[in-house]
Amino acid sequence: MEAEAHGPLAVVTGASTGIGAATARALAERGHPLLLLARRAGLAEALDLPRALCRQVDVTDAVAVGAAIEEAEARYGPTDLLVNNAGQMFLGFVADQPTEQWKRMFDVNVHGLLNGVRSVLPGMIARGRGTLVNVSSVAGRNVYPNHTVYSGTKFAVEGMSESLRQEVAGHGVRVVTVAPGSVETEILSHTTHEGVKAGYQAFKDSIEVLAPEDVAAAVMYVYEQPQRVTVREIVLASTAQI
Ligand code: NDP
């Protein structure tokens, strides 16, 4: 195992683009060895970060998530931070949205998150420390038209995170939700309803939305608090977002 001279291992899911890539960069700047998971692992590799193990993993595959974390821990020591960031958003009307998109969002945003939690939590409990940062959304706290299923997944993230926080508080494990408003990333491009996509794009173009680095800074803020401090939730959005 490589010595922990550079700080403990941090795992970031969905690290190939957007918020996950920015978070990986921020963690690397602080010297953390990293496990970066995404289906497009080549994009994570292209970030060219030191001590970063990049693995092509679909977070819905619990076995693959567990195996990658085991491999990273054998190299860099136990996971001290898991950033559950991988997510999918397909906006649309429930009346005509392909049901595959509902399933995919729940699989990735909810079950994928749980797969990450399950892979690191026993070790964190055994060590009496660790931090789980679950990337939620303002859509996990408020509802918006065209966001019905996506919002459902993020309300699940909020509810599960608070329940989990209470479950593991006595074990020294911190659980945090970071809930951003609109961020400039590729996530909207996956929406297949062209009218809904154009409408949301027009909203994004009308204000200066967050940059992925703004959310990464929030993740670093909560993680770098003394271990006795849990910032339970951060909600951040563009100043211009209502
Ligand atoms: P991106 O689309 O840029 O990033 C999503 C990341 O998730 C990608 O790295 C993608 O990698 C990964 N991902 C998607 N599905 C899977 C999967 N099945 N297995 C592994 N990785 C997967 O969007 P954002 O950076 O915006 O999104 C990051 C998080 O932030 C999401 O949870 C999103 O819901 C949340 N969020 C985003 C907001 C925004 O306005 N952008 C606002 C609020 C919350 P790959 O495709 O290579 O697998």
Please write the tens of the pLDDT for every residue from 147-200.
999 999 999 999 999 999 999 999 999 999 999 999 999 999 999 999 999 999
State the catalytic residues.
Answer: 150
Per-residue pLDDT, averaged over 100-123, amounts to 98
Instruction: Give the amino acid at 162.
Output: E
Is 241 within 8 Å of 181 (Cβ atoms)?
yes
Instruction: Supply the mean pLDDT for the chain.
Output: 97
pLDDT score of 4 more than 70: no
CA atoms within 13 Å, Cβ hemisphere of 20: 31
Complex prediction ipTM = 0.99
pLDDT score of 2 more than 60: no
Share of the chain above pLDDT 90, in %: 98
Torsion sign, CA atoms 181, 187, 188, 192 = negative
**Distance (Å, whole) CA 226 – CA 67:** 30
Nearest in space to 131 (alpha carbons), one of 84, 193, 77, 198:
84
**Distance (Å, whole) CA 53 – CA 51:** 6
- Choosing from 183, 200, 233, 238 the residue with most ligand 1 atoms within 8 A of its CB, the one to mutate for a pocket test is 183
Domain ranges of the chain: 9-233
pLDDT score of 73 more than 80: yes
Going from the C-alpha of 204 to that of each of 106, 128, 161, the distances in angstroms are 25, 42, 28
**What is the architecture of the domain spanning 9-233?**
3-Layer(aba) Sandwich (3.40)
